[in-house]
Amino acid sequence: MIRVDSQTVDASPQAGAGPQPAATLKRNALGVLGILFFVLSAQAPLTGIAGAVPIAVAVGNGAGAPAAYALAGAVILLFSVGFVAMGRHVVNAGAFYTYIGKGLGRTTGSGSAAVALFAYCAVQAAMYGLYGFTVSGLVEHYSGVHLAWWVWALVTMAVVQVLGAAGIELGAKVLAVFVLTEFSILLAFALVTFFKGGGPEGLDFGGTFSPGAVLQGAPGVALMFAVASMFGFEATAIYGEEAREPRKTVPRATYLSVAVVTGFFAFVSWMLVSSYGPSKVTAAAGQALAGGDSTVFVFASIAHQFGGWVNDVLPILLATSLFAGILAFHNSANRYLFSLSREGLLPGRLRTLNHRHAPWAAGLAQTAIAVLLVLPFAVTGKDPVLTLFSWFSGIGVLACMLLYFLTSVSVIVFFRRERLDTRPWNTLIAPALGALGIAAMIWVILANFTTLIGGATTTAVWLVLAVPAVLLLGAGTARLVHGR
């Protein structure tokens, strides 16, 4: 049990799991802003804007794509209400599986832990694919030296391992620099465009946010990419054990992160649409995709506002954006490994901490997983963007949406049984609405999964089936370990 603000908070994944082992993460290491930087790093703002928005516009609902970000943010905000309510009573680095286990039982919780770990490692591996490709191109452009993408991926894995073991405060400071840089330039572009009155057709709010604009084309595809850009906000709860005053810090960081991410993506994507004009933006995005480099759609607009120098800077910022995301997911995944070890579901060595109270052994295991996920694509010569990045991004998003749904249901069940919080909106209405919205999003993702991964139908089916398979594997392992 952990004492927080004079209230006892259960730090074990499920009630009845026994006393907490001595291994604990460093307390009082992160404040609201520190946690926020980890969340924003997982979102990788420049990667999300330059990678997802052109596809959402070209393949989705065109000028109405920014509204999809607002809609996705509204659903995530409803989810967050119950998520935060549960977080006031449970502080644990396992977050998702702890919350799910409290309401739906140890077996389901353990199965969801496997899904969460799978999701974080998959998305990190996806980022390594795009990161390696980007850095390889940059190095060759500026130095003439060509090294395969996977060489840079492996080198970066070592750097990430060192930073992860150096402690959570150092990681937060490194991420702060990268995130503020990319966030600032995108926000500056959006604000300049807004105060200049938009592009050739003005701001044209109705051309983007009217019902007709939102529902044109394939709005489900745009919504799918919007959801993908939100992935990672739930990391606020993962750092609860390392937060200062977690009962206050985690809720504030959660609501702030959802608001910032939603507002940022909706506003910047709207200004991108405005810079081309609602009537021309779909063609411009389609042309960028056809040319094989979707970032041109974004970089060209920013260069138009600030000058050609940004074409040299933005690719570098894209690489640092990906690095920040990789480090954020490394920290999230190794805390899941640490928490699962503490629960007895994984070898006890993984809960070993170094003198900085960092889970270095879990970090090594997470790095090893990253190597195992990336190497097959390197050995077989697969395109790191069209296969590794696309496939693992899709499967990571699907897995995380399943966790959101199970968490919402668990919140309702938990508070109906325990009655620790009797506020209907926080413990029933908002979680129920969030669960319905998330279920609808899962349906949209499944219906458009082949588009999301950019692969064949057979590949899509196997990737989709991997998620329930991991859930069942985790649940089965838990029953064997606990004997029930």
| Closest CA relative to residue 440, chosen from 79, 155, 196 | 79
Tell me the C-alpha to C-alpha distance, in Å, between residue 66 and each of 77, 118, 127, 198, 265.
Answer: 17, 29, 23, 15, 7
Give the span between the Cα atoms of 203 and 442, in whole angstroms: 32
Q: Length of the chain, please? A: 484
Global confidence as pTM = 0.82
- Can you tell me the mean pLDDT for 110-135? 90
Q: Which of 26-30, 309-313, 424-428, 461-465 has the lowest mean pLDDT?
A: 26-30
Residue 354: what pLDDT?
Answer: 67
Q: Report pLDDT digits (tens) over 282-317.
A: 999 999 888 877 888 999 999 999 988 888 888 888
Where do the H-state alpha helices sit in 210-309? 211-215, 219-230, 235-238, 246-276, 281-290, 295-306
Residue 165: what pLDDT?
Answer: 75
Residue 482: what pLDDT?
Answer: 67
Q: Which of 2-16, 127-141, 250-264 has the lowest mean pLDDT?
A: 2-16
Q: Which range, 25-34, 36-45, 189-198, is most confident?
A: 189-198
Q: How far out from the chain centre does Cα 287 lie?
A: 28
Q: Which percentage of the chain shows pLDDT scores above 70? A: 83
Judge whether residue 95 has pLDDT over 80: no
- Can you tell me the mean pLDDT for 331-339? 82
Q: H/E element holding 4?
A: strand 2-4
CA angle, residues 445, 80, 65, in degrees to nearest 5: 40
- Can you tell me the mean pLDDT for 1-30? 42
**Residues with Cβ within 8 Å of residue 182, at least 6 apart in sequence:** 45, 46, 317, 320, 321
Judge whether residue 233 has pLDDT over 80: no
Residue 17: what pLDDT?
Answer: 39
Strands 7-9 and 2-4, how do they pair? antiparallel
CB 93 within 8 A of CB 1: no
Q: Report pLDDT digits (tens) over 390-434.
A: 899 889 889 989 999 999 999 999 998 888 888 899 999 999 999
Q: Which percentage of the chain shows pLDDT scores above 90? A: 33
Q: Which of 197-206, 332-341, 419-428 has the lowest mean pLDDT?
A: 332-341
Residue 8: what pLDDT?
Answer: 34
Judge whether residue 27 has pLDDT over 70: no
Amino acid code (one letter) for 222: A
Give the span between the Cα atoms of 165 and 58, in whole angstroms: 41
Average per-residue pLDDT for the chain? 82
Residue 5: what pLDDT?
Answer: 35
Give the span between the Cα atoms of 123 and 332, in whole angstroms: 11
Judge whether residue 243 has pLDDT over 70: no
Q: Which of 88-97, 310-319, 465-474 has the lowest mean pLDDT?
A: 88-97
Q: Report pLDDT digits (tens) over 54-90.
A: 988 988 899 999 999 999 999 999 998 988 888 777 6
Give the span between the Cα atoms of 280 and 358, in whole angstroms: 50
Q: H/E element holding 9?
A: strand 7-9
| Closest CA relative to residue 64, chosen from 207, 271, 202, 204 | 207
For residue 26, report the phi and psi dihedrals to the nearest 5 degrees. Answer: -65, 125
